[in-house]
Amino acid sequence: MTVGELGRVTELAVPDLDRIVMSTFASESEDVKAAASYCLGCICAGSAAKYFPTVLAELSTSEKKYLLLQAVREVITQATTSPEMVQPYMGQMTPVLLGLAASELEGVRDMAGECLGKLALVQPTEIVPIILDNITNPDTNVRTTMVTAVKFAVTGTSSECDALLGPQTSRFLAALQDENFAVRRAALLTVNTMIRSKPDFVSGNFSEENNLLSAIYVETIIRKDLIRKVSIGPFKHIVDDGIPLRIAAFECLSTILDECIDKVEPTSFINSLAAYDGENKTIGGLADDLEVKLICQPLLIKAADCFPVVVTAAMEVICSAFAATIKTKLKNDALPAETQRLEECIRSVCRTVVKLQSLDPESGALAEFIAALNADERWAGMFEAAQ
């Protein structure tokens, strides 16, 4: 780290310094590799002509692409205040990043997307059209990377980049309808960032005929086509590929509640958290996987402040979802992490119930649930502690 900070401000007279730093990428320590990547980026930023072309060349052949991309990201970040730093290398860097956008490795794709997004802030007239041209690329991986690039581009303060991206928002939002769930998840993460960083970009997309919220609500629903069985030895495990997608959707709804609550129809919002289906079964985020519940329970607390009347009206179905949660039983061979996750979820339920009590202390459904909670020796202490 010290070598990197020194190399950022002055050229160090150390022969083959870049090679020496890259040799530490073979370390077994993740901390060492991360520090080496940062160091490499710093010395490239401080002496671009001496080191940066080598790093870009290595990206095409090395197996350490993620670490090299982290170094490139550091150079691009420094170039935000000094665009001339990367201008001579655009012809070499852009094709390399586009090639890595199609990588089968998610970490490499995400880092390539971040680099492209930050590069759009440095060289918007060159990079933004490339992102636009590839947002509908036939390759799923490339589409995902480009949507990720937009997420990082909208976090910056380049008025030139904003002027190019803003009018094209509808093209990026179309990714919410993509056939591939990875692209849709990337789109949700980008929308989340866009609402916080550039709300004007999406303000016109809440109309009835072009309802951004409707597209997000769709992604909160469990989809059977994203659930698969995986064989591990003699055992079969259920894998739900839709969980990260649903988590991203609910995180997006949380941001919308913070930033543009006037666009939200309260009943539809609460229904995404808890509702009865045609068979009177509880559905919604509060009845989902534990990971999703942990997102939705604090979201309900927030919604209780925003829509107290609607939350009170939905108390029965909310308590039904909570009742199913406290009845959750893990397998005898459950890992300690699974047990901790369930306990964390029950604590969250208890905190939410305390909030609901203040909202409607006379609720019969809530009183019945609290009685069941106190009757369960596993959880009674948690509810007492939450009060």
Residues 66 and 117 in one domain: no
User: How does residue 50 score in pLDDT terms, banded at 50, 70 and 90?
Assistant: confident
- The stretch 188-208 carries a mean pLDDT of 89
Residue 168: what pLDDT?
92
Is a pLDDT exceeding 90 seen at residue 5?
no
- CATH number of the domain bearing residue 144: 1.25.10
Residues 8 and 75 in one domain: yes
Residue 337 lies in a domain: no
- The stretch 231-235 carries a mean pLDDT of 79
Residues 67 and 31 in one domain: yes
Residue 24 lies in a domain: yes
Residue 190 lies in a domain: yes
Residues 129 and 70 in one domain: no
CA distances from 81 to 105, 111, 157 (A): 31, 21, 11
Residue 4: what pLDDT?
66
User: If you average pLDDT over every residue of the chain, what do you get?
Assistant: 90
Out of 198, 233, 250, a domain closes at: 198
Residues 114 and 80 in one domain: no
* Type of residue numbered 103: S
* pTM, full prediction: 0.90
Residue 88: what pLDDT?
92
Residues 147 and 75 in one domain: no
Out of 51, 85, 119, a domain closes at: 85
Out of 172, 198, 224, a domain closes at: 198
Residue 21 lies in a domain: yes
Q: Are strands 275-276 and 282-283 parallel, antiparallel or unpaired?
A: antiparallel
Residues 61 and 113 in one domain: no
Say which range, 10-19, 172-181, 242-251, has the weakest mean pLDDT.
10-19
Residues 78 and 125 in one domain: no
Alpha helices in 80-180 (DSSP H): 90-100, 106-122, 124-134, 140-153, 159-165, 169-173
Residue 120 lies in a domain: yes
273 in Cβ contact with 303 (< 8 Å): yes
- The stretch 67-88 carries a mean pLDDT of 90
Residue 253 lies in a domain: no
Structural domain of 174 = 108-198
171 in Cβ contact with 128 (< 8 Å): no
- pLDDT digits over 319-349, tens only? 999 999 999 888 877 788 888 999 999 999 9
**Separation between Cα atoms, residue 271 and residue 92, nearest integer Å:** 50
Hey, which of 15-24, 199-208, 242-251 has the most confident mean pLDDT? Answer: 242-251
Structural domain total, the chain: 2
Residue 251 lies in a domain: no
- pLDDT digits over 280-305, tens only? 899 999 999 999 999 999 999 999 99
Residue 383 lies in a domain: no
Residues 62 and 113 in one domain: no
